[in-house]
């Protein structure tokens, strides 16, 4: 189940670590003291940003930063090269959160830099503070000198003890959706794209990497320069620093990780170069030169993040048999869907995540075969089917119709990912694979380096698919998939004989027969185990759980996907034998999707809640702010404290 990356956004509350959905000042709600996000003269109003890209746009960003581990702080300056789009405009409005702004200067026509007046509005969670810079001369370059707060929502700082090697500290960013503003003052909306350069200094034993042209041979000297020549939206700005070494995979791919992890990671991700080749053959050239992966500590709150040229990856997918590398396919696929063709605002999340999940499936099919791809599809669709019924109509839709005010809890989560991917499979099914592949390739090319919305997709597909191959799909069908709730009747079905066999084996045991024999389960991959556990009843007896443990050792499993499903079942069933292993798991892993179901199950009973609180107290220093926010909210809710808002990403 892809679950909860964006799903938790549905809670629609405001909190610092909050997701983009939460950022929306609710319709009719209080006016933020920093002022409502201004409407822009461009077509897309982004309620998650104060920026005014219809007036002025950042075209290039030059960062000069020092990484200060002692103070958990990045400090330095950001210099913007600006395009003053509106001839009347004399203000640059930037998004910031918890930043200290020290100085703002602008370059005069004679080349001299002069002080500019600026005003930092009071913070309005979770948008942050609107920074208004007065630029009467409409300077082509403006420089902001600033530093970050130790609790910056987009950064995690780890002490050496929290790393695998235990010698160097570690720091990494997570900018999506609206966290870039907590470490760089920016027009933090995907409608603005900029190139960037950076000069970063750090303690000299620490390696620094960015979503840019990392040099595999870079000397570790505490002084690094980066260049990102392709224009990117702010949520793809990324930085990491730590005891990181490189291991090549192919000509243009490799892994960065802590020394003790790097060989294992390179082995697990050995097919990455082939993935790039396969995706290029399907959808056109990879436009970002290198594709490297950075394996983060287990506290990384997500599975992966598609930072350009350097995907950030959770170590929890390294399970020894490549069974979870569809995550790499997913992050790589974003190099086309998302990083190249980007949603104009997070309200069109499916254009990033749905298209990417579809492409992910195609890469998996090419490399590992249809059987594997179909298993993953069935697992994802089962989860979607299970969850979608409980959602509001709006949350069940991929997007809202143009002109309709986005509600606080608009669509995201499994819907954006799996209904989005299903929609594309539907189109593939109706138009034929060759035709649909050609369309998608042309789509990536046509909208390369642009942000678009759902309506633009509909218009483009109407012209280049519907009209080109008449009589196959109607515009009403397109609109139903995108704007209506539920899963359309026209949805194509996929069968998985391998998962059917798992169903049969599980049923035989539950009906009083034997557990599936080793000879059968030996060939099972993560997908089959996940499906086996997901299909078990809500609760089992202690004897049944013990029998499963005796046969398959679920308790203590090293596979986070299995743990994510097994531990909640153990908790619901009152299987105290798993408590110690649960505590170890929750303290070791900070990836939200994997641990939240267990916290939620624990929070349902007083004894469970006590265990959850105890574990959290110990785990907290190692958790990312995004994860802490989610866990705190679940615990607060269980205690009836509704003052702690439910966050999301
Ligand atoms: N871009 C997302 C992660 C994300 C989405 C972060 C929204 C913040 C807000 C990334 O590409 C992603 O989807 N990651 C998934 C993995 C994937 C295989 C479904 C994850 O982290 O689980
Ligand atoms: Zn994604």
pLDDT, one tens digit per residue, over 165-179 is 999 999 999 999 999
464-489 per-position pLDDT tens digit: 999 999 999 999 999 999 999 999 99
Angle, CA of 123, 107 and 121, to the nearest 5°: 10
Residue 287 DSSP one-character state = T
Q: Is 134 exposed, middle or buried (0-12, 13-18, 19+ CB in 10 A)?
A: middle
Average pLDDT over residues 426-445: 98
Coil/strand/helix, residue 330: helix
Average pLDDT over residues 20-31: 29
3-state secondary structure string across 81-139:
EEEECCCCCCEEEEEECCCEEEEEEEECCCCCEEECCEEECCCECCCEEEEEEECCCCC
E strands, 429-580, in order:
450-452
Q: In what order do the strands lie in the sheet with 223-233?
A: 113-115, 100-107, 141-147, 73-84, 56-68, 193-201, 223-233
Please choose, from the candidates 429, 469, 465, the residue with its C-alpha nearest in 3D space to the C-alpha of residue 446: 465
508-540 per-position pLDDT tens digit: 999 999 999 999 999 999 999 999 999 999 999
Query: What does the pLDDT read at residue 644?
Result: 73
pLDDT score of 559 more than 70:
yes
In the structure encoding, which two tokens stand for residue 126, read together?
């979770």
Which CA distances in Å does 78 have to 61, 294, 549, 560, 640? 7, 25, 55, 39, 44
Alpha carbon nearest to ligand 1 atom 17, residue = 327
- In this prediction, residue 645 has a pLDDT band, given cuts at 50, 70 and 90, of low
Q: Per-residue b/e over 452-465, b at no fewer than 16 CB within 10 Å?
A: bbbbbbbebbeeeb
Pairing of strands 291-295, 253-257: parallel
Nearest atom in ligand 1 to the alpha carbon of residue 306 is 11
Query: What does the pLDDT read at residue 641?
Result: 84
Nearest ligand to the C-alpha atom of residue 302: 1
> Residue written as tokens 């705190």?
632
Query: What does the pLDDT read at residue 319?
Result: 96
Q: Is the domain 341-404+411-483 a CATH 1.10.390.10 member? A: yes
What span, in angstroms and rounded, lies between the C-alpha atoms of 528 and 392? 31
Distance 342 CA to ligand 1 centre (A): 14
DSSP string, 38-62: PP-SSS---TT----TTTEEEEEEE
286-309 per-position pLDDT tens digit: 999 999 999 999 999 999 999 999
Percent share of the chain, pLDDT over 70:
92
Q: Are 308 and 179 in contact (CB under 8 A)?
A: no
Alpha carbon nearest to ligand 1 atom 19, residue = 2
Query: What does the pLDDT read at residue 126?
Result: 86
Q: Is the CB of 6 under 6 A from ligand 1?
A: yes
Q: Torsion over CA of 30, 637, 648 and 362, rounded to 10 degrees?
A: -140
Q: Is the CB of 649 under 6 A from ligand 1?
A: yes
Q: What is the mean pLDDT of the chain?
A: 92
Average pLDDT over residues 98-122: 97
Read off φ and ψ for residue 137, nearest 5 degrees: -90, 0
What span, in angstroms and rounded, lies between the C-alpha atoms of 610 and 400? 41
Distance 77 CA to ligand 2 centre (A): 30
- What CATH number is given for 56-333 in this structure? 2.60.40.1730
What class has domain 536-638?
mainly alpha
H or E element, residue 450 = strand 450-452
Percent share of the chain, pLDDT over 90:
88
Whole-model pTM: value is 0.94
Average pLDDT over residues 384-402: 93
Domain 56-333 and domain 536-638, same fold? Reply is no
Task: Please indicate whether residue 41 or residue 25 has the higher confidence score (pLDDT).
Answer: 41
6, 301, 303: residue to mutate for ligand 1 pocket, most atoms within 8 A of CB: 303
Q: Are 603 and 568 in contact (CB under 8 A)?
A: no
Alpha carbon nearest to ligand 1 atom 10, residue = 305
Query: What does the pLDDT read at residue 21?
Result: 26
Distance 356 CA to ligand 2 centre (A): 6
233-274 per-position pLDDT tens digit: 999 999 999 999 999 999 999 999 999 999 999 999 999 999
Average pLDDT over residues 172-190: 97
Residue 196 annotated as catalytic: no
> Residue written as tokens 């200290």?
100
Distance 293 CA to ligand 2 centre (A): 15
Nearest atom in ligand 1 to the alpha carbon of residue 334 is 11
Nearest atom in ligand 1 to the alpha carbon of residue 326 is 18
- In this prediction, residue 43 has a pLDDT band, given cuts at 50, 70 and 90, of low
Query: What does the pLDDT read at residue 44?
Result: 78
pLDDT score of 42 more than 70:
no
Domain ranges of the chain: 56-333, 341-404+411-483, 536-638
């Amino acid at each position: 189940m892809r679950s909860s990356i964006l799903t938790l956004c549905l809670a629609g509350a405001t909190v610092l670590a909050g997701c983009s959905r939460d950022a929306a000042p609710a319709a009719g709600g209080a006016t933020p003291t920093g002022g409502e996000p201004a409407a822009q003269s461009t077509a897309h109003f982004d309620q998650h940003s104060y920026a005014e890209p219809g007036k002025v746009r950042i075209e290039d960003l030059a960062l000069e930063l020092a990484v200060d581990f002692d103070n958990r702080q990045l400090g330095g300056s950001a210099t913007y090269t600006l395009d003053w789009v509106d001839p009347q405009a004399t203000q640059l409005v930037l998004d910031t959160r918890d930043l200290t702004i020290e100085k703002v200067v602008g370059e005069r026509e004679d080349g001299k830099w002069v002080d500019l007046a600026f005003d930092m509005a009071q913070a309005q969670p979770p948008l942050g503070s609107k920074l208004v810079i007065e630029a009467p001369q409409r300077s082509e370059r403006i420089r902001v000198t600033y530093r970050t707060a130790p609790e910056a929502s987009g950064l995690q700082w780890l002490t050496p003890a929290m790393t695998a090697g235990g010698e160097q500290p570690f720091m990494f960013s997570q900018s999506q959706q609206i966290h870039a503003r907590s470490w760089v003052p920016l027009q933090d909306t995907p409608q603005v794209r900029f190139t960037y350069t950076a000069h970063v200094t750090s303690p000299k034993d620490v390696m620094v990497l960015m979503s840019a042209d990392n040099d595999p041979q870079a000397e570790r000297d505490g002084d690094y320069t980066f260049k990102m020549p392709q224009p990117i939206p702010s949520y793809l700005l990324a930085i990491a620093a730590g005891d990181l070494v490189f291991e090549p995979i192919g000509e243009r791919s490799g892994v960065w990780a802590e020394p003790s992890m790097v060989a294992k990671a390179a082995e697990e991700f050995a097919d990455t170069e082939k993935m790039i080749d396969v995706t290029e053959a399907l959808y056109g050239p990879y436009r970002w030169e290198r594709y490297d992966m950075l394996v983060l500590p287990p506290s990384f709150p997500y599975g992966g993040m598609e930072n350009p040229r350097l995907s950030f990856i959770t170590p929890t997918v390294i399970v020894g048999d490549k069974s979870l590398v569809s995550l790499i396919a997913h992050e790589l696929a974003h190099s086309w869907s998302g990083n190249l063709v980007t949603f104009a605002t997070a309200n069109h999340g499916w254009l990033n995540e749905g298209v990417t999940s579809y492409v992910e499936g195609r890469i998996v099919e090419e490399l590992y075969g249809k059987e594997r791809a179909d298993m993953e599809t069935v697992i994802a669709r089962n989860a979607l089917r299970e969850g979608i019924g409980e959602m509001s109509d709006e949350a069940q839709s991929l997007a809202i119709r143009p002109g309709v005010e986005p509600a606080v809890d608009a669509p995201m989560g499994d819907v954006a990912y799996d209904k989005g991917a299903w929609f594309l499979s539907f189109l593939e099914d109706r138009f034929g694979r060759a035709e649909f592949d050609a369309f998608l390739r042309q789509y990536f090319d046509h909208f390369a380096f642009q942000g678009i919305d759902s309506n633009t997709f509909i218009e483009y597909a109407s012209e280049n698919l519907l009209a080109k191959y008449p009589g196959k799909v109607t515009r009403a069908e397109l609109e139903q998939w995108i704007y209506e709730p539920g899963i359309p009747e026209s949805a194509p079905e996929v069968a998985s004989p391998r998962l059917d066999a798992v169903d049969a084996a599980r049923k035989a045991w539950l009906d009083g027969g034997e557990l599936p024999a080793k000879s059968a389960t030996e060939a099972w991959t993560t997908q089959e185990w996940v499906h086996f556990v997901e299909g078990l009843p809500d609760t089992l007896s202690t004897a049944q759980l013990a029998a499963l443990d005796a046969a398959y050792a679920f308790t203590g499993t090293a596979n986070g996907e299995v743990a994510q499903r097994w531990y909640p079942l153990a908790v619901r069933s009152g299987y105290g034998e798993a408590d110690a292993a649960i505590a170890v798991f929750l303290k070791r892993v900070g990836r939200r999707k994997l641990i939240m179901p267990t916290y939620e199950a624990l929070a349902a009973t007083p004894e469970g809640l006590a265990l959850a609180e105890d574990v959290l107290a110990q785990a907290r220093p190692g958790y990312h702010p995004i994860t802490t926010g989610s866990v705190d909210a679940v615990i607060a809710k269980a205690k009836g404290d509704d003052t702690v808002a439910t966050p999301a990403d």
